[in-house]
Amino acid sequence: MRIDIITCLPEMLDSFLGNSIVKRAQSKGLVTIEVHNLRDYTTTAYKQIDDYQFGGGAGMVMLAEPIATCIRNLQSQRTYDALIYMTPDGKRLEQKAVNAFSLLENIIILCGHYKGVDERIREQFITHEVSIGDYVLSSGELAAAVLSDAIARLVPGVISDETSALTDSFQDGLLAPPVYTRPVEWEGKTVPEILLSGNHAKIEDWRFSQALERTKNRRPDLYQNWTDTNQ
């Protein structure tokens, strides 16, 4: 899989790309993530990538031309399955969408900045508009990092135990159950006996009931969706 990230603040992604799951994915040759500095695609003397918005109002708008130039340059090298724009007014990111993105071969992620991009870019190039939550960040690099991490960890071979990703929260529409590790007793609190029983069928039943209960208490919206789907 290849992910190309278009940004005006490439340095914000340096630490993300050099650590943890994303670093492992790239080291194994399973995922390639390339960052493209939007300022390299502008022809203005001062590397301008934004301008005042027509009609007045606070905030600058990202210029269409350098974005289009960058996208077309990438598209001339390979075919892309999705061009994703990270924006607060996009569709809220959910695990089902991440699962679908992880099955693609080539993806471009465009990071928003300022008041966003010229609307004509969205109309002409963007295939998916994604938000990581109902709040506003200073720029889209953090959102792009979140999406890239969520995708990369699902690529086969990135995580040593591939079944781990399949039991994460949201994969089955529920939150994950509580987990425990050594020691059995810690500060007077003990691990539930069922987890020490060795009876895997009963352990799975317990985990499922705990996942249901946790989802019902913490995310009633998810619980209702799961109930509606599984009735």
Question: Domain residues of the chain, as ranges?
Answer: 2-152, 169-230
Reduce the DSSP state of residue 108 to 3 states and report it. strand
Report residue 15 as tokens.
């630490």
Query: Is the domain 2-152 a CATH 3.40.1280.10 member?
Result: yes
pTM value is 0.89
pLDDT tens-digit profile, the chain (231 residues)? 999 999 999 999 999 999 989 999 999 999 999 999 999 999 888 899 999 999 999 999 999 999 999 999 999 999 999 999 999 999 999 999 999 999 999 999 999 999 999 999 999 999 999 999 999 999 999 999 999 999 999 999 998 766 667 667 678 899 999 999 999 999 999 999 999 999 999 999 999 999 999 999 999 999 999 999 997
Single-letter amino acid code for the residue at 101:
F
Helix (H) or strand (E) holding 230: helix 220-230
Q: At what angle do helices 20-27 and 141-152 cross, to 10 degrees?
A: 60
210: left (phi over 0), alpha (psi -120 to 50) or beta: alpha
The fold of the 169-230 domain, in CATH, is Trp Operon Repressor; Chain A (1.10.1270)
Radius of gyration, alpha carbons of the chain: 22
